[in-house]
Amino acid sequence: MKAAILDAPGKLKVADVPDKEPNGKEVLIRVKCCGICGSDVKIFQGKWTIPLPRILGHEFSGEVISVGKEVEGFEVGDRVSVDPNEICGECEYCRTDRPNFCENMIDHGILVDGGFADLAICGEKAVYKLPDNVSYEEGSFLELMSCAVHAINQAEIKVGDTVAVFGGGPGGQILHQLARVAGASEVTMFTHSEEKLDLARKLGATRADNPKQVGLFSRKYNVVIDAVGSSLVFEQGLKMVEKNGRFVLFGQAPEGEIGKVDLFNFLMEEAKIIPSFINPYTMDQSVQILGNKQIDVESLISHEVGLSEVQRGFDINIKKEPGAVKILVRPN
């Protein structure tokens, strides 16, 4: 089979690798769609170090073409998506309701090979069937959706809350839609891209502003979500949180990024800083959201490339080409 392999930061190649065969409780999937995630880009750029070489790609959907002898929940032909954060279920964190910190987690596309390939292999418990009305394209958003759902759950948005989301990428566009679903009366999107501001308005944001063109600190929000991952957004966004409000860290900052906090005001205003790390117990919830068409993910797809063009997909993302939001790789 063919796969896109990252040999070293900035060095991505498409090559033939041995076909995979499932063992025991494993499922073999023919990949139909795999999204290029911001974390993929950071790994490609060397801003996040992982064991290399590696087949990247963790946002993928596809068709089951083979199952291990012990698999009971899936059969050939099933349409599925994958939770790339495959937990062991046995370590202390898993046994104490904290699976996102699993000590033995198998991170597909990070610690083991992922979905920028013709075929991908996953444990049965990491695979989720797609509803009949959910396309493979929509299904490739399932993991990102589940992470966003966890962030919204962490934010504890109440009916009538005001919410600000920094970042007009796929994560931010999903988050502002979910915030409205959760009951927010007003959701403001902040991003520098006019195209992404227009997209946010189309997808239901009540306001969409360029942070350089408005007075950021002229008002406060019950919840501010950082879907960028930067010290600047952290420092600015925290100043915009209402007393006893919540600031949610969702975007992944580069390793070593430092954000400063005004400890005096932080104490006096009782704002909460809430990190949101991956997706504990939110995959099933996200399957239902996609199946019920509660939010629009198809409008986020701006580019599609074949496996042989995967470098082009990364370039579109890194160069922030006009109109770029979510780039999908189609291996087959």
Q: What is the 3-state secondary structure (H, E, C) of the chain?
A: CEEEEEEECCEEEEEECCCCCCCCCEEEEEEEEEECCHHHHHHHHCCCCCCCCEECCCEEEEEEEEECCCCCCCCCCCEEEECCEECCCCCHHHHCCCHHHCCCCEEECCCECCCCECEEEEEHHHEEECCCCCCHHHHCCHHHHHHHHHHHHHHCCCCCCEEEEECCCHHHHHHHHHHHHCCCCEEEEECCCHHHHHHHHHCCCCEEECCCCCCHHHCCEEEEEECCCCHHHHHHHHCCEEEEEEEEECCCCCCCCCCCCCHHHHHHHCCEEEECCCCCCCHHHHHHHHHCCCCCCHHHEEEEEEHHHHHHHHHHHHCCCCCCCEEEEECC
- Structural domain includes residue 232: yes
Domain count, the chain: 2
Within this chain, do residues 43 and 133 fall inside the same structural domain, yes or no?
yes
- Structural domain includes residue 147: no
- Structural domain includes residue 283: no
* CATH number of the domain where residue 261 is located: 3.40.50.720
Strand order in 241-249's β-sheet? Answer: 207-209, 186-190, 162-166, 221-226, 241-249, 272-275
- Structural domain includes residue 98: yes
pTM of the model: 0.96
- Structural domain includes residue 282: no
Within this chain, do residues 169 and 263 fall inside the same structural domain, yes or no?
yes
**Residue 139 scores a pLDDT above 90:** yes
**Residue 285 scores a pLDDT above 90:** yes
- Structural domain includes residue 289: no
Mean pLDDT of 223-247: 97
- Structural domain includes residue 148: no
Mean pLDDT of 26-41: 97
pLDDT in tens, 150-208: 999 999 999 999 999 999 999 999 999 999 999 999 999 999 999 999 999 999 999 99
Higher pLDDT: 255 or 24? It is 24
- Structural domain includes residue 285: no
**Residue 254 scores a pLDDT above 90:** no
pLDDT in tens, 42-64: 999 999 999 999 999 999 999 99
Within this chain, do residues 195 and 250 fall inside the same structural domain, yes or no?
yes
Within this chain, do residues 176 and 267 fall inside the same structural domain, yes or no?
yes
* CATH number of the domain where residue 104 is located: 3.90.180.10
Quote the domain boundaries for residue 205.
154-275
